[in-house]
Structure 1
Amino acid sequence: MEFKKQHIKTSVVACIVDEQRRVLLTRRCIEPFCSQWVMPGGKIDHGEPILAALHREVREEVGLLVGVDGLIDVYEHIGVGCGQDHYVILYYRCHPTGGNLRPNKTECTEAAWFSREALPGMDLPPGCRHILARVFPELDWGPEHAIIDAAGEIPDQMRLP
């Protein structure tokens, strides 16, 4: 197997859930995942603390301030786009604490709150779908995203270490 040396892009993403259990999604207007619905986030700058990057990205993309509730999971995208980019994305559950919702139009054309029931039917990239299946395991995400099996147990491949 041949490996090419490449840079790994490390990003943070906020899964922002409000008091009504709605999730904030943005429609991307840049690659990767252009035109799909995603959660706000972006690259961590060199020397920038992870949570500082999370707060900055949310504020820049959608104008909101958030409280961080904790790390949901880490998701890896390998071979994305024409550059075959490699992304490692840290997804944090957050809640809104202030600001005014306004997409920046440079990275996303729109931003909206969606009920959890609407999420499985939306055009979401794999990482976003994976994270939302972890946040809302009671929804029907399809067998490849099952968090709880028919016996009510968490399958071994989905258990956190």
Structure 2
Amino acid sequence: MADKTFKKDHIVTSVVAVIVDDDGQVLLTKRNVTPFKGEWVMPGGKIDLGEPIVAALQREVMEEVGLQVEVEDLIDVFEHVTPGEDNYHFIILYYLCHPIYCDIDHNRDEVEEARWVPRGELAGYKMPEGTRFILGKVFPELCSCET
């Protein structure tokens, strides 16, 4: 097997918040940066060395969309190896969260747009496979898996 070259010499561990409000809407952000530029995802990012997981999640949500969240349960863990020249290897921890308030103030350097999306409209958004998979765990009607 040929050695694959990666940009980092370690796996990058990230957290993502699946933020669901009291009306069952999910906060989606349209990425303004790679990876997934132009696609809809949930807020999140890398865990800094020594940073507790929940603190990293709350920090990333605040940095990207200006919200405070209550962290509920771990939904799942997803592994992603980026294609092409990027060649990053990510382990992503997805957590169900609830907003303390719903007024979004997104970071325009990272997020082109942020919006609350009713669950019935989620299927119409262009999103990475991992995002759709995780949303399918929260909202089973989105799951395209054969069980």
Q: TM-score, normalised by structure 1?
A: 0.84
Distance 1:98 1:20 in 2: 13
Q: CA deviation at 1:4?
A: 4.2
RMSD (Å) for aligned C-alpha atoms = 1.6
Residues 16 and 94, structure 2, Cα contact 8 Å, conserved in 1:
yes
- Report whether the alignment pairs 1:63 with 2:74: no
User: Which has the larger Rg?
Assistant: 1
Q: Which has the higher contact order (CA 8 A, sep 6+)?
A: 2
Residues 118 and 43 of structure 1: is their aligned pair in 2 closer, same or farther, counting only changes over 3 Å? same
Q: CA deviation at 1:2?
A: 3.4
Q: TM-score, normalised by structure 2?
A: 0.91
Aligned counterpart for 1:97 among listed residues 80, 97, 100: 100
- Structure 1 residue runs without a partner (length 5+): 147-154, 156-161
Secondary structure, aligned partner of 1:64: coil
- Structure 2 residue runs without a partner (length 5+): none
What is the aligned length? 144
Q: CA deviation at 1:127?
A: 1.1
- Report whether the alignment pairs 1:42 with 2:45: yes
Matches within 5 A, 1:10-159: 10-98=13-101, 100-137=103-140, 139-142=141-144, 145-146=145-146, 155=147
Q: CA deviation at 1:79?
A: 3.4
